[in-house]
Amino acid sequence: MPNDTGPNFQQNASRALNDKQLRKNFKFAMGNFILKRKQIFSDESKTEQLRQIGNDIKRRALSQLPQLLEQLEEKCTQNGIQVHWAETLSEANQHVLRIMQTHRATRLVKGKSMVSEEMGLNDFLQKKGIEARETDLGEFIIQLNNEKPSHIIVPAIHKNKKQIAQIFHEKLSDTPYTEDVEELNAIARETLRKKFFDAQVGLSGVNFAVAETGTLCLIENEGNGRMSTTVPPVHIAVMGLEKVVEKLADVPPLLRLLTGSATGQLITTYVNMITSPRKDGERDGPREVHLIILDNGRSKILSDPQLRQTLQCIRCGTCLNHCPVYTRIGGHAYGFVYPGPIGKILNPQIEGLKKAGELATASSLCEACAEVCPVKIPIPQLLRRLRNESYASDSFSTVKDSGYKKNLIETIAWKSWEMMNTHPLINTIGQKIMSRLGAQIPKIGPLKQWTRHRTAPKFASKSLHQLIDEEGIQDE
């Protein structure tokens, strides 16, 4: 049932399912990612050990989150990094704007940051007359085409070569049409090199923030992140507050898990660890480094011991890659910044269940995501929890709009189901009725949905109970 305040998921999903090109693009890409991950994590028992280490590191960090953030702030400040706190997306945007305006800057280059997508930063800055140029190739492509990312790691994965060639040709001046990947890259390199050169401020995300040393760790393959954080005189880093880790020693295992899970690599081209702005005597690097720590609902998530596991996420995207639902509908259909399994548990908690609760039903609970999550988030378990919250059916509820789905029909249906399955006599009678009349059930409600793609199941004339009675099997 479409809700008033959120995107129409079913409609979006159906549209995506009917888009043959989209499905082809995603099937190809996700199949590739699945293979790559298998190859890079070929030793099963070592991989399981490593995942447990990742899980331990993240749980350790979350269980002391405020202390670590305070330590991070202290160390960063000592090192010359200016720390800002933002409760809401609006506050975060205002921090960025203030820094830009202090420097009278109108040209911003961006390394890739999902938090900045969450903030809607580009649109916000554009309204203030500031150009925020994406420099990650995938982000660059979709920015030219006025689209949002469809994947956490490879934002333009829903586009094929032809589509990208068309975008470059149409949106970049003096650009011939070419489908050659090397040529397309060269065009991006040339165009963006000028932007790096001219930029007044650079913005990035943060993969890991180390409390022990006040160090921001950024990983990338293209070099645009280093360009954005080193060439301009000002660097702004935005991060969700859950990204802090306790110590430097925690970084190597998380790094291995992140690069392996995200792109099937042992290591990315660059690992960039920033501890301070340009020091006396140094000749390059930004003169100012700012760190914006964003809450936007994360502190609330932390307060629930079970749902807190959502915050373990290191944004690798592998749950998307392995999800049979995501593979078929792509990222845009979810209607929120974070798609895929992580999106299904994160968005409802941040946006509330009225807006995003339907996402929690868009899973068959197949466990493919949980099997590969590098930090062992039990996503299906959290989906069940969100489903419980949707009906306010368990003894506690903490998510916004809890109980929004409560309705008489389902309440009665499940109560009847409970009656049937706790009273053997009712069960037997029910079965006898179904075996006789099952075929005549009108195709409405659940049966209507079932029979859109399948024939209705046939109820056996004799139940297993009956057959077993006939065999004379012991009762106890």
Task: Answer for the pair 206, 216: CB distance below 8 angstroms, yes or no.
Answer: yes
Nearest to 202 by CA among 82, 95, 108, 277: 108
In angstroms, what is the minimal distance from the CB of 335 to other proteins?
A: 14
CB 175: neighbour CB atoms within 10 A?
17
Nearer to other proteins (CB atom), residue 122 or residue 312: 312
Quote the least distance from Cβ 265 to other proteins, whole Å. 8
Nearest distance from C-beta of residue 5 to other proteins, angstroms: 19
User: Measured from the CB atom, is 4 or 182 closer to other proteins?
Assistant: 182
Nearer to other proteins, 106 or 160 (CB): 160
Q: How far is the CB of 278 from other proteins (least distance, A)?
A: 7
DSSP element (H, E) containing 85: strand 81-86
Minimum CB distance to other proteins, residue 172 (Å): 15
Query: Max CA-CA distance within the chain?
Result: 92
Least CB distance from residue 121 to other proteins, whole Å? Answer: 18
Which one, of 377, 400, 312, 297, lies nearest residue 63 by Cα?
Answer: 312
Contact by Cβ (8 Å): 326, 340 = yes
Coil, strand or helix: which one is 213?
A: coil
Nearest alpha carbon to residue 310 among 218, 394, 375: 375
Question: CA-to-CA distance for 416 and 133, rounded, in angstroms?
Answer: 58
Q: How far apart are CA 60 and CA 249, in angstroms?
A: 13
Complex with other proteins: residue 65 or 125, whichever CB lies closer: 65
Rounded to the nearest 10 degrees, how much is the dihedral formed by the CA atoms of 283, 288, 289, 293? 180
Nearer to other proteins, 355 or 376 (CB): 376
| Cα–Cα dist 416/412, whole Å | 6
Contacts (Cβ under 8 Å, ≥6 apart) of 91: none
In this complex, which beta carbon is closest to other proteins, that of residue 70 or of residue 123? 70
Nearest residue (CB) to other proteins, 169 versus 415: 415
Please identify, using beta-carbon distances, which residue of 5 and 417 lies nearer to other proteins: 417
293 is written with which tokens? 């720590």
In the complex, the smallest distance separating the C-beta of residue 268 from other proteins, rounded to whole angstroms, is 7
For 107-169, the DSSP string reads EEEE---HHHHHHTHHHHHHHTT-EEEE-SHHHHHHHHTT---SSSS-TTTT--HHHHHHHHH
| Least Å from the CB of residue 120 to other proteins | 19
The answer to whether 379 touches 365, Cβ cutoff 8 Å, is no
Comparing CB distances to other proteins, the nearer of 5 and 32 is 32
- Classify residue 275 as exposed, middle or buried by CB count within 10 Å of its CB (0-12, 13-18, 19+): middle
Inter-axis angle of helices 161-171 and 181-198, to 10 degrees? Answer: 40
Which residue number, 204 or 390, has a Cβ lying nearer to other proteins?
390
Q: Which of 405, 298, 404, 295 is nearest to 349 (CA)?
A: 298
Minimum CB–partner distance for residue 106 and other proteins (Å): 18
CB of 382 vs other proteins, minimal distance in Å: 12
Q: Per the structure block, which two tokens stand in for 215?
A: 């160090």
Query: Is 266 or 408 the residue whose CB approaches other proteins more closely?
Result: 266
Q: How far is the CB of 174 from other proteins (least distance, A)?
A: 20
